[in-house]
Amino acid sequence: MERLQKVLAQAGVASRRKAETLIVDGKVKVNGQVVTELGTKVSRADRVEVQGVELVKEQFVYYLLYKPRGYISTVSDEKGRKTVLDLLPMIEERIFPVGRLDFDTSGVIIMTNDGDFSYLMTHPKFGIQKKYVAKVKGIPEREALKKLERGIELDDGITAPARVKMQSFDKKTGTALVEITIQEGRNRQVRRMFDAIGCPVQKLRRESFAMLTTYGLNAGEARELTTHEVKQLRVLAETGKIG
Ligand code: URA
């Protein structure tokens, strides 16, 4: 459910301010009834008319982007940094990233204009697994990895259980590659988890988001998700398993 003035603005009818005026002036109908209250919420199922003309609903679109390092995963940036939208200039729908990856993190990120789908993919209660490979400074002990697995105290609380696997380590450089799969998506979570065991992340890449990987894409490239993949992701979030 979205506020009526937001829906009007997103459909390109008018700016948010002008949309509010249209509503207050009685120019907007929802399911045939004039609505003048600004807080009114509507869903996609509601028929919205502005001065007798029905609003055209934007089709939902879903893309898998291989985010390179050096892009911020928001739709705009006050510091003028490049955003993930700069990588998808040909897409006309108002897409936004599903969850976030740090400026310096690369890997799989979904872009969509479907807010409900985004919620299913990001709320930890739906359990969507995200796998990362972290290059860390130091070679974590088994016990430290176990701590990450069980849950570790961060300043915003203890983390949910994770799957952790040492991929390789290099004694000469004193670094290790560690795979970590989490279902939460707190701000800079993986980096903070490794900081908490004294092995700061030097490089971070999201290998997979549920069953999606960057397979077939170069950094900076995107592809549309298939209808089947979108359905699989929904089923996964809603039931905890695919098919
Ligand atoms: N955890 C992080 O620390 N950074 C990311 O970009 C994603 C998860």
50 & 87 share domain: no
State the residue range of the domain holding 224. Answer: 62-124+211-239
Per the structure, the count of domains in the chain is 3
Phi, psi angles (nearest 5°) of residue 166: -75, 125
Decide whether any atom of ligand 1 lies within 6 Å of the 188 Cβ: yes
CA of 131 to the centre of ligand 1 (A): 10
CA of 189 to the centre of ligand 1 (A): 5
Decide whether any atom of ligand 1 lies within 6 Å of the 190 Cβ: yes
pLDDT, one tens digit per residue, over 118-164 is 999 999 999 999 999 999 999 999 999 999 999 999 999 999 999 99
143 & 34 share domain: no
What's the CATH number where 205 sits? 3.30.70.1560
pLDDT, one tens digit per residue, over 194-230 is 999 999 999 999 999 999 999 999 999 999 999 999 9
Which one from 25, 46, 86, 102 is the annotated catalytic residue? 102
User: Which whole-number Å values give the CA distances from 152 to 69, 147, 223, 232, in the listed order?
Assistant: 27, 6, 36, 31
135 & 197 share domain: yes
Ligand 1 atom nearest to 105, measured from its CA: 6
57 falls in which pLDDT band (50, 70, 90)? Answer: confident
86 is an active site residue: no
156 & 172 share domain: yes
179 & 67 share domain: no
Decide whether any atom of ligand 1 lies within 6 Å of the 105 Cβ: yes
pLDDT of residue 243: 60
